[in-house]
Structure formats: C-alpha cells, structure tokens
Structure 1
Amino acid sequence: MLLTVAALILGLILLVWSADRFVIGASATAAILGVSPLVVGILVVGIGTSAPEMLVSGIAAFDGQPGLAVGNALGSNITNIALILGITALYIPLRVQSKLVTREIPLLMLVMIIGYVLLRDGVLDFIDGAVLLTGFGLVILRQLWEAKHSRGDAIEAEFEAEIPRDMTLPVALGWLLLGLILLMGSARILVWSAVELATAFGVSDLVIGLTVVAIGTSLPELAASVAAARKNEHDIAIGNVVGSNLFNLLGVMALPGVIAPGPVDAAVISRDYPLMLGLTALFYLVAFGPRKERRIRRAEGGMLVVIYFAYLGYLLVDSGAI
C-alpha cells in the first residue's frame, strides 16, 4: 500500500512537471518556426495541457480499464470548471474580454450534448469513439481558422507575452522530447498506482478516475490558470479551461471507445455527465449572462469550489471509500 501511494505521488509530480516542460518546448519550437501566437496559444498549448489526460486514458484503455479512462475525461472537466476556475476566481476575480473565448463556450455545450447522446445507450463503442475523434479533428481545423482570421483579439497579446523567446531550437526540441518521454512514463506509473489503489479500497476504477486521477491530470491547468490570472491574463486563464474541456471530451473520451469499446457505468449517465453539463451551463450564465460585466467574482468562484467538494464527498461516501 505504501509503495502504491508513493508511486501515485511520484507519478503525479512527474506528470505535472513533464507536462509543463512539454508545453514550453512545444510552444517555443512553434514560435521559432514562425507559427503565430494565436495558433501557439490556442492549439499547441491547448493540446499540450490536455496531453496528461490523453496519455493516461489511452494507457488505461489499453490495460483494460475503460472506466478509469472515461472517469478521467469527465472528472477532469468537472475539476477544471468547479475546482480550477473556482480557485482561480477566489484568488483573482476573472474578466472575460476575448471574443474567441466567448464563442468557444457554446461549442463546448454542443459537444457535451453530442457526447451525452452517444453515451445515453450505456455503451461507448468504436463508432462513438470515431465520431468523437472526427469532432476533435474538426475542432482543431476550426481553431486554426479562428487563429488565422481573428487578428487583434484581446487574447492574442496575452499569448504573445507567454511564449518563451529566449530558447534556441535545439533547447526547445530537447524540452519537447524530454517532456514527452516523461509524460508517457509518469502516465504509466499513475495508471498502475490508480488501479492498485482502487483495488485496495474496493472502489471502481471509474471513481478513481473521477477523483484522484482527474485532479492529478488537471494540475497543469490549475498551474496555468492561476499563473495567467496573476499576470492579468484572464482570457488565457478561462480559455485554458474551456479548450482543455473540449479536448477532453473529443480526444480523451474517444480513446476508450476506439481502443476498448464496451459498456459505460450507469452512474456516468445519471450522475457525472449531468453534473458536468450543469456546471458548464452555470459557468456560462455567470460569465456571459445578462450582466454587463463579464466577470467571475470571488463569491461565484467560492460557489464553484463548494459544489466540487460536495460532489467529491458524495462520490467517496456513495462508493464506500469513506
């Protein structure tokens, strides 16, 4: 048991650090090669911060743990909106200025509804996974088009300030490669320790995916959002979460369907997915509702955090973990 906990902690630390190195290496490489700041910020960084979830879910599906993979995708989205945005807004109230970010929220809601329709029959099969992966490709193409035709958006200057400019190409490629290697290794360690932990506590791999693994793989988003908010880059803080949630639904949740098709725990349809939808709708109303001021205030951030811990407590009690 001690070895399992130590491996879990080591896996999480390596996962967060390697994800950060991977994103830095990828964004610096793209910038050196002349890629625009918007493409780097929206696409390179967006995919990079979702790399932990993708690798963990892919490995879990290959290992015959599709519940862990699905739990990681949905749990990460719930964690991103309720915990990460909540903590960030508690720290610094967030303003929304970017039109790009504003347009991404309805797309996220649409993708969530499509995902729910696909899962409603209780099965995540190969066709479902293929549909989600197709959507993943279309979203990437759309974001590339947006980056090309949205010059002057408020978020562009924020991305420009965040891109590393003091690296040579060999150094950037070195961080990119090292980050990728350590990401794969730490994801393997995390999946092994998570399965062992689920067995030890007698809970399902879905619950472990929704809690421990989801929190761990979402730590890069937490670090990125808080850091962006501290630098007054509020649109990056929010856009980071929205983009990550899109990639989690279309890329991460597709992997168990493509790799290990099979039934989905009924609790996903009745409990976890509706909560994710409800939190996203609440986030939209708070940030883009009838008020003139597009802001997530401290009180609303606190409300999101309370909802998250209430959900976490319910999960642990309902699963018999406590």
Structure 2
Amino acid sequence: MVYLLLIIGFALLIKGADWFVTGASKIAHLLRVSPVLVGLTIVAFGTGAPEATVSVIAALEGNPGVTVGNVVGSNIINIAAVVGVTAVIFPLKVESQTVRKEIPFTLLGSIAFMALIIDVGVDSEATNLLSRGDGIVLLLFFAIFMYYVFELAMNHRQDEITPGVNERSDAEGGWKKNGIITVLGLAAIILGGYWVVESSTEIAVRFGMSETLVGLTVVSIGSSLPEFVTSITAALKKYSDLALGNIVGSCIFNVLFVLGIASVITPLPINTEFFLDVTFMIILTFVLLIFSRTNWQVGKGEGTVLVLSYLIYLVYIIMRN
C-alpha cells in the first residue's frame, strides 16, 4: 500500500501541475497581471502547501527536526535543484523587478531566520530555539511581503489595462473553466505531495534514517516535487517568469509563513547541525541573485553549477548523518 500511494502521488503531482500552471497563467491574463506575480503568490503558495502541511503536523507531533529540516531542505532543493534543472532544460529569463526586490527579500528572510535561531543564554542548558515571538517576527515579515506584492499587482494591473470590445465577455467566459482547472490542479498537487511525503518517509524510517536526515532529504525532496514539476511544466510552456516566480515565492513562503506558523503553534528547538544547512541556504540564495544578474537570465551553465552544488551537499548530509 505504501509503494502504491507513492506511485499514485507522483501521478497526481505531474497531472496536477499541468492543470495548475495552465489555469493560473490564464487567470493571470484575465486579471491583467504578469505571470511572475501569479508565480509569487497563487502558484508559490499552492505548491508550498505540502511543506506547510508536513511542517505543521511534524511540529504538533513533537518532531522539530522534520519541521525545520523540511523547510531548510526544501529551500535548498528549490534554489539548487529545481532552478538548476529547469535552467538546464530551458534558460530562465529574469524580470528586473524580481532581481531588484523578490530575490533579495528571499535572502533577507533567510538571514533573519538565521539571526532568530541563534539564542545565546547564560544557562549552560540553553538551546537554540525558534520561539513563539520569533514566529511572530517571521509572520510580520511575511505580511510586509504580501503588502508589497499586492501593491505591485495593483499598479501593474492599472498599467496593463487596455480597452477592448469583447474584453469583458472573454474574461467572464474563461473564469469558470480556468478556475475549476486551477482548483483541481492545486488539489491534485496537495494530495499527491502529501501521499509522496508520507509514504516516502515511512519507507525511509524503515531503513533506519535519522529524523534530521529524513527532514533534509526524503521529506523536503518529496514536498518540493510540486515546485519541481510546476516549474518544469511552466518552463516547457514558455512561462519562465512564472517558473522562477514560483521558486522565489515558495522560498519566502517556507521560511516566513511555514516556520512562522509552526513556531507560533509550538516553539521549535534547533539542532546545531542546522546552522551549516541554513548557511548553505543563504549562500545559494546569494548565488542565485548573482546568476540572475548575468544577461538577466539563469542559463544552462549556471543551472549545471546549481545542480552539482546540490548533489555535493546531498552526499555530505548523508555522510554526516
């Protein structure tokens, strides 16, 4: 049954991503906003739903290693593996707005997370902790990001409005169909991602993997599959801005919202091993910022570097654990 759920989960992810990207891109056209904004919000939060579900459940069950490892591992996979593989298949064009603000905001959120988990206390038994107060700080950062995206969407929409004779009727005719396709795609992604994570985690535990390693590898890879499949599908459909917006938005969603909610529900003790992983996540985000400024795209060569960096990191954490 576990292996059957794993196969069904993969199938739902692939088909759901196809529906979701198609519906979301058409809704962006109907809303008169750029696909990158849809990628930063609807697509990113939708594909980030498995991370949110798994992390909150893990926090409630008292498994902070899975909660934090899932988020950190997912962001590393998103930046290195997903962006890397997508760029190798189809070079990702970068909008200047994304470079100027969204990717730096991802970097800022990652640095803020690192600063919050380094707790220095006089008590020798004090541990590094993501407290409820820290969670509120992360959620406030997320609220600022959402306000910025909303303002950007409204301004962009006003700039892009062009009157047309059949514009209203065309939009009304497409809302219902595209809305259903998007919702069905999102549902398939969430359900498929959940089944992949749950079944793969059970299989990994049977092989004796530690909680931290499961969070950084099996769970994070499984919960990142929606982003991976969605970004690949978007790139193949020539929506490279939606593909990159999906990754950037998911990374911001993971660090600020998922960890924020999880730590507000229950404070999360942080294993010192995670400091190296968070540092690697910050370095990768900075590298993505640099790569995105070269010819305003992430090319095949840069994608290859990102993929190789993740493979080296994967070998390291398996040996470490």
Q: Deviations over 1:115-160 (max 9, x none)?
A: 1111123212222222222222221121001111235999xxxxxx
- Distance in 2 (CA, whole Å) between partners of 1:106 and 1:198 is 35
SS in 2 for 1:85: helix
**Equivalent in the alignment of 1:235:** 241
Q: TM-score, normalised by structure 2?
A: 0.80
The TM-score, its normalising length taken from structure 1, stands at 0.80
Q: Tell me which residue corresponds to 1:161.
A: none
- State the partner residue of 1:110: 108
Distance 1:189 1:89 in 2: 28
Q: Residue type of the partner of 1:280?
A: T
Name the structure 2 match of 1:273.
278
Q: What residue number does 1:137 align with?
A: 143
- How big is the shift at 1:31? 6.3
Q: Partner of 2:273: helix, strand, or coil? A: helix
What is aligned with 2:255? 249
Which piece of structure 1 moves more, 198-207 or 107-116?
198-207
Indicate how the Cα distance of structure 1 residues 100 and 305 shifts in structure 2: closer, same or farther if over 3 A, else same. closer
Kindly tell me: are residues 313 and 24 of structure 1, through their superposed partners in 2, closer, same or farther at Cα, counting changes over 3 Å? same
Check conservation: 1:22, 1:48, Cα contact below 8 A.
no
Of the three residues 139, 149, 160, the one matched with 2:155 is 149
Alignment check: 8 A CA contact 2:21 2:233 kept: no
Deviation, structure 1 residue 21: 5.0
* Alignment match of 2:133 (pick from 127, 134, 151): 127
User: How many residues of Structure 1 are paired with residues of Structure 2 in the alignment?
Assistant: 302
> Which stretch of the first structure deviates more once superposed, 133-142 or 228-237?
228-237
Amino acid corresponding to residue 298 of structure 2 in structure 1: I
Instruction: Pick one of 304, 307, 314 that aligns with 1:305.
Output: 307
Relative distance call for 1:27 and 1:51 in structure 2 (3 A) is farther
CA distance in 2, matches of 1:81, 1:252: 17
SS, match of residue 37 in structure 1: coil
Stretches of structure 2 that go unaligned for 5 or more consecutive residues are: 120-127, 161-169
The answer to whether the aligner puts 1:77 opposite 2:83 as a matched pair is: no
Per-residue deviation, 1:258: 2.2
1:212 and 1:76 map into 2 onto residues whose CA distance is: 10
Shift of the 63–14 alpha-carbon distance from structure 1 to 2, 3 Å rule, reads farther
Inter-partner Cα distance in structure 1 for 2:17 and 2:301: 31
Question: 2:253 is matched by which residue type in structure 1?
Answer: F
- The answer to whether the 8 A contact 2:39-2:245 is kept is no
Question: Paired residue for 1:37?
Answer: 33
Give 1:285 deviation, angstroms. Answer: 1.4
- Structure 1 residue 211 displacement after superposition: 1.3
Matches within 5 A, 1:1-322: 3-15=1-13, 17-18=15-16, 21=19, 35-38=31-34, 40-121=38-119, 122-150=128-156, 174-175=180-181, 178=184, 185-186=191-192, 189-269=195-275, 271-288=276-293, 291=294, 293-319=295-321
Gaps of 5+ in 1: 155-163
Check whether the contact 1:59–1:187 (CA below 8 A) recurs between aligned residues.
Answer: no
Equivalent AA in structure 1 for residue 279 of structure 2: P
Q: Which piece of structure 1 moves more, 258-267 or 271-280?
A: 258-267
Q: CA deviation at 1:58?
A: 2.0
Q: Cα gap change, 1:26/1:232 in structure 2, threshold over 3 Å: closer, same or farther?
A: closer
Task: Report if the CA contact (8 A) 1:57-1:255 is conserved.
Answer: no
What RMSD, in angstroms, separates the aligned Cα atoms of the two structures? 3.2
